[in-house]
Chains A and B, each alone.
Chain A
C-alpha cells in the first residue's frame, strides 16, 4: 500500500487541478512546453494556494481569499470584444501602440500592429508557443521564480500574452501598451508576456488591466523583461480591475550593465490584488527607480511584494511605494533588497509610506534588507499615519475647504512617487486618475 500523504485540497485548488487536467491537451506549445507546464503544475500541486503560514504570502492568504477557481476563459466573441474598444481611458491622450487582449486572448483587429518601428517585433504568445518560436526556449520562465505558486500556476496554464523584441540600439519612441480587458463573464485568465530589449535599445511599456464591476473574474498575469546592457526601459503597470476582481500579477526583470530601468505600478482596482516584482541587477552601474502608488477603499486588499536583487556592483536603486487607504481597505507592502557578496558599492534606498484616511483601514509594511557585501549604502524607511492635522489647518486657515485641503495633501503625498515617471503625459494621466479617485471618495 502506498504511504501517500493525502493533501486536503480547497474547492479552488481542486478546481484548478481539474482545469489543468482538462486543458493541458489543448493549451498551445510543443512537447518541451507541455513538460514545462506539467512541472510547473507539480510545483503548485505540492504547495497548493499560498496561505498565511508561507512568509511571502503572510498578509495575502490566497487560500482564504480565493474561495473558488473560475473556469478558464473561453475565446472572446464579438460581444466580449466590444467593451475593449473604449478601454484604456485612464491613459487619456497618451499616444501608444496598443496590443489588446480580451479575456486573456490577443485580439489582432483591435490592436495596432501595422507600421512597426524598425527593430520592433511584436506577436502573441499563443502564436509563439504554437510556432516553436526560439525566443521562448531561450527566455520563457528564466526570470519568474518557478517556486512561487502564482508564477507556477501561470506557467502551467498560460494561454496567450505578448512577445516583444526590441533589437539592439533601436529607440522605440512610441510607448507600447499591453491592454488587458476582462469581459463580463466571470472567468479565469492566465496571461504570460515576454519582452526582450537588446543592448542599447530604448522602450516604454505600459501594461494595464481593467474589467467590469460586478464580475468576480480572476486574472493571473506574468511579464518577464530582459533588459540588455545600456538599454533604457520604462514599465508602467496600471491595475484598474473591476471592483470584484481578483488580480495576481508578476513582473520579473533581469537588467544588464549601465542600463536604466524604471518600474511603476498604479493600483486602484480589484477586490484582491497581489502585485509581485522580482528584479535582478545582473550588470554593473545600472540605475533603477522602482515606484508605486496605490489608492484603495471599501474592503479592497492590495499587496505589493518586491524583491530587488543586487548581484552586480555599483548599481543604484530607489524604491518608493505610497499607499492611500480609505474605508476598511487593507494595504500590504513587502520589500526585500538583497545585496550579493560581489555587489560592492550598491546604493539602494527603499521608502514605503501609507496614508490612512479611515481608522478602520490597515497598512502592513515589511521592509527587509539582506546585505552580504561590506561596502554598500542601503537604507529603508516605512511610515503609516493619518493626514497631518496641522497642515490641514494651515490650508483651511487660508480659505481652502476641508475636502479640497485633504485632496491637495493626498495629491502631494502620491505626487512624490508619480513624479518619478519620465513620460510627462503619463504622469498627468495618473494624477488625473488620482483626482478622479478623490472626487469619487
Chain B
C-alpha cells in the first residue's frame, strides 16, 4: 500500500475548478517534486491535503495510509502524520512559539494514544532540533512568527516538521523568499529527516531547491493535472525550457 494515493481528484474553490483530475501516488521513503507554472494548482493541492476550508473536493479520492482523508479534520490528518509547511506561515500574536510547539506536539501524541512529553523531554527535543536549524532561544521566546523575517518563518516551519516527525511532509514553496544560506539550512533540515518510513512532496517553481533536496520523482502540474512525470533530470529540463509547452499541450 502506498502512503499517499490520489485518484482523479477534482477540487473547487468558490465554484471554480482548480484541480481537474489529478493522480499522484507517493510511497514511503520517496521524495516527489511537483513543479508547475503559477496558477496550475500547486498550492491548492497542498491546502486540500491539509484540509483547508472552502477547498472543496467534488470528485476523486485521496487516501493517506489507506484511509480517506476527507473523513478527517485537519488536526486528525496532522496526528495521522500529514504535515504541510506553509508557503506563507502565519503570525499568531500572543501565542509564544514554545507554547505553540508544545501544544501541537502533545495534542498529536494524545490523539495517537501516546504519553505527553514532560517539560524537560520537550525542551531537550526542541534544543536538539532548533540548533541545527540556526534558530536561537530568542526566536523561540517570541510569539509565533511575529517579527520573524521571511527566512526565519520558513526555518520555523522546518522546526515544526522536525519536532512533529510526520510520515508525509508537503513543502509548499518553502524555497520562496530564501537567500542561498537559508536555502541550504532549510534543505539540510529536510534531508536529515529523509528516511525509509517518511515521504516528501516538494512543491516549487524553481529547480534550485532540487539541487539541495534531490527528488526521486518529478511531476509537472499544469491546469490542475499532472501532465508529465520523470526522474530528477526532468527538473533540469524544465529549468532550461520553461513550462510553455506543458501549458499548451494539456490533453482535453
Contacts and interface: CB of A to CB of B under 8 A. Distances in A.
Given A399-B111, A411-B94, A413-B94, A389 B53 contact: yes
Interface stretch (B26-34, B70-78, B228-236): B70-78
A394 B86 contact: yes
Interface residues of A, number: 22
B73 A415 contact: no
A168 interface: no
A393 B107 contact: no
A432 to B, nearest CB: 15
Interface string B130-164: 00000000000001000000000000000010001
B1 interface: no
B90 interface: yes
Contacts of A396: 51, 73-75, 78
Contacts of A394: 86, 89-90, 92
Contacts of A408: 95, 99-100, 103
Interface string B89-107: 1101111000110011101
B92 A416 contact: no
B94 A398 contact: no
Main secondary structure of the interface of A (DSSP, over half): helix
Given A393-B52, A393-B74, A398 B164 contact: yes
B187 interface: no
Contact of A398 (B52, B53, B73, B160): B160
Interface string A406-441: 001101110110000000000000000000000000
Contacts of B53: 389, 393
B107 A404 contact: yes
A397 B95 contact: no
A421 to B, nearest CB: 15
Contacts of B74: 393, 396-397
Given A404-B107, A412-B95, A398 B90 contact: no
Contacts of A395: 92, 100, 104
B90 A402 contact: no
Contacts of B100: 395, 398, 408
Interface in B47-95: 50-53, 73-75, 77-79, 84, 86, 89-90, 92-95
Contacts of B86: 394, 397
B93 A398 contact: no
Given A402-B75, A404-B103, A408-B103, A397 B94 contact: no
B104 A399 contact: yes
Nearest to B93: A412
A353 to B, nearest CB: 11
A415 B92 contact: no
Contacts of A398: 75, 78, 100, 104, 107-108, 160, 164
A75 interface: no
